[in-house]
Chain A
């Protein structure tokens, strides 16, 4: 065998051994790698299934969460609408409160104004009371003075009446004597028999009796003043004797009588003339 052939054979043998060893290692590794690959694939498939299940669960959870989120969003929207409504109500109530405050301020101002007015009016009332008190005092004084004067007047009037009655009586007698005959006092009641002082009244109305044509006079005295029917009174004006009045009807505070001028054509009876009882 040639050397080269031997060398080649040795090389072939070595390479065969080398190749065999490498083949064995390669085969074992390939088998191991294949097993590992299969195991990993199995794990991957299991993981994929787990992931799919988790994904479906997550998707369901996502759907559920989305639904819940939608519901929450709807709730949030409704709450926001409610919030807006409440804010509007609050704004309206605040405006009402401000208006009420302004009204309260206005009312307080009005109260203050009224209080000042009341104070002013109180002062006015006090001043009026003082004034009224002074006026009443003055009135009382004046009333007393008036009473004193009235008493004095009454006294003087009484004296005057006495004098006038005396004068009238004389004039009456003179008139009776002058115009003929002494009138019969029949049917005429003398007033002196009733007692008390002289009775004075005023003629309030004059009218003519259509039947007899004589004058009828109404006076402002009656039974309360001790007047009676058929009483004979004298009509005077100042110090002048006018005529006679014979009472025909007497009420409590007024009476009506017939006027008798005793033939005196120069005199006439007027409304306001004084009527007094005759002094005989």
Chain B
């Protein structure tokens, strides 16, 4: 019944969570993180020795610097 939003007698009042400033801050953080991930992704892809999705996480070998892009 609670799934249907019905409030039964004797039950506590459930207050639904609401969007607040923290949500906005989280949203902003996500946005900024997304942007940062995007920027770092692009930079890492440039320095990555491989290509593809896992390119940003690949590490160059010592003394054998190659670039996949």
Contact = CB atoms under 8 A, between A and B. Distances in A.
Contacts of B59: 25, 28-29, 32
A9 B20 CA distance: 13
A213 B49 CA distance: 175
Task: Classify the secondary structure of B's interface with A.
Answer: helix
A85 interface: no
- The dominant DSSP class at the A interface is helix
Interface string A6-23: 001101100110110111
Interface string B25-60: 011011001101100110110011100000011111
A4 B48 contact: no
A22 B30 contact: no
Interface residues of A, number: 25
Interface residues of B, number: 30
B17 interface: yes
Nearest to B43: A26
Contacts, number: 81
B13 interface: no
A82 B23 CA distance: 104
Contacts of B27: 4, 8
A2 B44 CA distance: 34
B62 A32 contact: yes
A227 B43 CA distance: 173
Contacts of A3: 17
A42 B52 CA distance: 33
B56 A9 contact: no
Contacts of A194: none
A5 B30 CA distance: 10
A2 B18 contact: yes
Given A26-B44, A33-B60, A5 B17 contact: yes
A25 B17 contact: no
B53 to A, nearest CB: 12
A30 interface: yes
Contacts of A8: 23, 26-27, 29-30
A29 B30 contact: no
Contacts of B58: 25, 29
A36 interface: yes
Most interface-central of A3, A4, A19, A28 (chain B CB within 10 A) = A19
B45 to A, nearest CB: 9
A26 B49 CA distance: 11
Contacts of B14: none
A25 B63 contact: no
A82 to B, nearest CB: 64
Given A8-B27, A28-B60, A32-B65, A15 B33 contact: yes
Interface of A: 1-5, 8-9, 11-12, 15-16, 18-19, 21-23, 25-26, 28-30, 32-33, 35-36
Interface of B: 17-20, 22-23, 26-27, 29-30, 33-34, 36-37, 40-41, 43-44, 47-49, 56-63, 65
Top 5 A-B residue pairs of the complex, sorted by shortest distance between their CB atoms = A15-B33, A29-B47, A8-B26, A32-B60, A2-B17
